[in-house]
Amino acid sequence: EFLLFQSPAREIGRAFSNTHTMIEFLLFLVVTTLLIATVVLCILRAMHSSIGLAKPSQQQLRDEPQNSCPLFSHCRSLSTQIAWRELGGTFPTPVHRCDCQAVSRHELAAADASAKGDTSGPSTSSSVSFYVKREDLSSPRYGGGNIPYG
């Protein structure tokens, strides 16, 4: 009879120990997560504060057309608070179609042979068409560096 009462007490003790261990583990996870989040947040704040916004110089305010920036057309007070440069000029850039004769390796060899005086027969060539996006025309100042439109 004594053994019957002792066995459930042992099981309750083990269950309490397992629950206690699980609570300690969950508490450890919560504290670790909060610690990592705090460190990451501190790093992000330090990075953000180190960058800052540059105010435009007097020369930039004279040289740049402030009315061409959509943000400044809606919030005029920002034009003296944020340095801004117009990068692009002509958008969208044109697309040109190019047509040329396709030349195979065999035709190149035949042309080389005919240049040397050996004519081995007629060559046949086919026409190829392709399109070229003229990003080089996006800005006369900066060239075609894929300046985003809009």
Over the stretch 2-14, which tens digit does the pLDDT of each residue have? 444 555 556 656 6
Alpha-carbon gap, residue 140 to 4, rounded angstroms: 94
Q: How many separate helices (H) and strands (E) can be counted in the chain?
A: 4, 2
Over the stretch 68-80, which tens digit does the pLDDT of each residue have? 788 888 888 888 8
Average of per-residue pLDDT values in the chain? 77
Selection from 12-21, 24-33, 71-80 with the highest mean pLDDT: 24-33
Over the stretch 81-111, which tens digit does the pLDDT of each residue have? 888 877 666 677 889 999 988 777 887 788 7
Q: Which residues pair with 131 in a beta bridge?
A: 97
User: Which helix (DSSP H) or strand (DSSP E) does residue 24 occupy?
Assistant: helix 2-51
pTM of the model: 0.33
What's the pLDDT at 37? 96
Q: Averaged over 112-118, what is the pLDDT? A: 74
